């Protein structure tokens, strides 16, 4: 009896094993006569990937976003005058000015989330105005329009302005000189020597109100900005008195344009003068950043002015007869087409280098014209680099206008 039970149990196990084997899904190649087959992949609905927008950099304020895209008015943020106008300048120098960044209330309406973001040591958006960006230190950067303040305790943030300032020179040439700021010395600042006014047309006395020779050599025996190499020879090295100053604050402007005078544009009309730079091709300047860093000794005013020179990068205002020449002989400031918003209208034409008696452009090379000489050298050697006037442009092809500027020599008259 026991043997029959054992046999039955074995038979039961065999049957279970066979049922499992026959229910197994063997691959087709393992079956007799089966051919290899690929299993069809399960089709899944593929969603189109939507590119993510780049995160907004709240450390960099954009007027394009606020003024152009969101169409905010200037006075929605900037209040005229700022609360600190009596303390940022003191005494007679103080005047109602936009002299600080907008108050927090101007930002909180739209940026409450960014102001209370859990970012350490402080929300990133705070760095637009604040220096240390910590709750314990609330000091702000110096407002950009206060370029006339030189106190080293005031920290100035380096940035690339989004604006160009529109200034109609033709409407100011005969006016500005009548309202010079206190302490302005007409005798030392005038660009034109009085003895030359009859010989050469002198410009209006307005020019030196805004444009003075920057870091002039004067009576100093040292003519270079920094010490040049010993083997300099005839090679270029930046000299003192190369550049002119340009206004860097509202000081001169608000002498006439203020709430009391009612002379438009008033200080509250920001966008009457400050125009956003439209995106587009950047003008190429006759400027070499690496070379400039060696010569300018970190002078930010020099580097800024030099990087904007789209004519002659090597021109020096204090050299030779240049101080005795009329500003209007080179700069067409009396014309309405002279537009500070459009830099191409400020470009000095090569014909200005000729002069009444022929300074740098003469009928022939024998007459001493530098342009004549360099054009002839380029004809002889295509690799010749023009260095009399240019820093980087001298390697490029000679513009057609340069060749056309050379006067045609008058034919010699032979006696009969």
pLDDT tens-digit profile of 384-416?
999 999 999 999 999 999 999 998 877 766 666
Residue 146 located in a structural domain: yes
Are 141 and 244 in a shared domain? no
Among the three residues 159, 177, 203, which one is the final residue of a domain in this structure? 159
The token pair at 13 is 């196990």
Residue 264's domain comprises: 163-348
Are 298 and 394 in a shared domain? no
In this predicted structure, the answer to whether residue 32 has a pLDDT above a threshold of 60 is no
Residue 29 located in a structural domain: no
Residue 120 located in a structural domain: yes
CA 288 to chain centroid: 15
In this predicted structure, the answer to whether residue 13 has a pLDDT above a threshold of 50 is yes
DSSP state of 325: S
> Cα–Cα distance between 258 and 135 in angstroms, integer?
37
Residue 25 located in a structural domain: no
Are 223 and 287 in a shared domain? yes
In this predicted structure, the answer to whether residue 188 has a pLDDT above a threshold of 80 is no
Against a cut of 0.85, is the pTM above it?
A: no
Are 292 and 306 in a shared domain? yes
Intra-chain end-to-end CA distance of the chain, in Å: 160
Are 290 and 247 in a shared domain? yes
Residue 1 located in a structural domain: no
pLDDT tens-digit profile of 194-241?
333 333 455 557 898 899 999 999 999 999 999 999 999 888 999 999
Are 301 and 206 in a shared domain? yes
The pLDDT assigned to 187 comes to 36
pLDDT tens-digit profile of 119-158?
888 889 999 999 987 778 889 999 999 999 999 899 998 8
The pLDDT assigned to 50 comes to 76
Are 310 and 383 in a shared domain? no
Residue 19 located in a structural domain: no
Are 133 and 168 in a shared domain? no
Are 377 and 325 in a shared domain? no
Q: How confident is the model at residue 248 (pLDDT cuts 50, 70, 90)?
A: very high
Are 207 and 230 in a shared domain? yes
Among the three residues 105, 133, 159, which one is the final residue of a domain in this structure? 159
Q: Which residue has the higher pLDDT, 203 or 54?
A: 54
**How many domains does the chain contain in total?**
3
Cβ atoms of residues 156 and 325 within 8 Å: no
Residue 261 located in a structural domain: yes
DSSP letters spanning 73-139? -GGGT--SS-TTHHHHS-GGG--S---SPPPHHHHHHHHHHHHT---SSS-GGGGGTBSS-BTTB--
pLDDT tens-digit profile of 105-125?
999 989 999 999 888 888 899
Are 267 and 200 in a shared domain? yes
Mean pLDDT of 248-256: 92
Mean pLDDT rounded to a whole number for the chain: 83
Are 331 and 193 in a shared domain? yes
Half-sphere CA count of 297, side-chain side, radius 13 A: 10
pLDDT tens-digit profile of 301-341?
999 999 999 999 999 999 988 988 889 889 999 899 999 99
In this predicted structure, the answer to whether residue 56 has a pLDDT above a threshold of 80 is yes
pLDDT tens-digit profile of 160-175?
889 999 999 999 988 7
């Amino acid at each position: 009896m026991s043997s029959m039970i054992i046999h039955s149990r074995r038979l039961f196990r065999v049957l279970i094993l066979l049922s499992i084997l026959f229910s197994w899904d063997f691959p087709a190649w393992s079956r007799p006569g089966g051919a290899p087959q690929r299993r069809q992949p399960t089709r899944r609905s593929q969603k189109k990937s939507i590119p993510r927008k780049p995160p907004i950099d709240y450390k960099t304020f954009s007027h394009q976003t606020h003024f152009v895209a969101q169409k905010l008015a200037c006075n929605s943020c900037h209040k005229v005058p700022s609360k600190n106008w009596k303390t940022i300048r003191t005494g007679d120098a103080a005047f109602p000015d936009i002299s600080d960044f907008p108050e927090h209330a101007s930002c909180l309406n739209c940026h409450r989330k960014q102001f209370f973001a859990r970012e350490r040591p402080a929300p990133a958006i705070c760095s637009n105005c604040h220096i240390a960006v910590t709750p314990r230190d609330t000091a702000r950067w110096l407002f950009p329009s206060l370029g006339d303040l030189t106190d080293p305790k005031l920290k100035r943030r380096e940035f690339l302005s989004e604006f160009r300032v529109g200034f109609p020179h033709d409407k100011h040439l005969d006016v500005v000189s009548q309202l010079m700021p206190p302490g302005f010395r007409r005798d030392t600042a005038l660009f034109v020597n009085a003895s030359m006014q009859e010989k050469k047309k002198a410009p209006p006395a307005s020019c030196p109100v805004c444009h003075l020779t920057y870091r002039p050599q004067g009576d100093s025996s040292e003519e270079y900005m920094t010490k040049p190499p010993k083997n300099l020879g005839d090679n270029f090295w930046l000299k003192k008195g190369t550049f002119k100053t340009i206004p860097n604050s509202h000081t001169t402007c608000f002498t006439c344009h203020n709430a009391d005078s009612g002379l438009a544009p008033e200080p509250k009309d920001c966008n009457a003068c400050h125009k956003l730079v439209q995106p587009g091709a950047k003008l190429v300047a006759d400027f070499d950043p690496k070379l400039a860093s060696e010569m300018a000794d970190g002078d930010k005013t020099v580097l800024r002015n030099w990087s904007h020179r789209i004519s002659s990068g090597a021109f020096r205002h204090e050299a030779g007869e240049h101080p005795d020449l009329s500003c209007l002989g080179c700069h067409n400031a009396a014309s309405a087409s002279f537009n500070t918003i459009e830099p191409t209208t400020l470009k000095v034409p090569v014909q200005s280098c000729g002069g009444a008696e022929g300074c740098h452009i003469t009928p022939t090379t024998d007459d001493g014209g530098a342009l004549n000489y360099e054009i002839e050298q380029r004809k002889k050697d295509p690799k010749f680099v023009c260095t009399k006037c240019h820093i980087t442009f001298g390697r490029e092809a000679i513009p057609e206008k340069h060749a056309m500027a050379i006067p045609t020599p008058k034919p010699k008259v032979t006696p009969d």
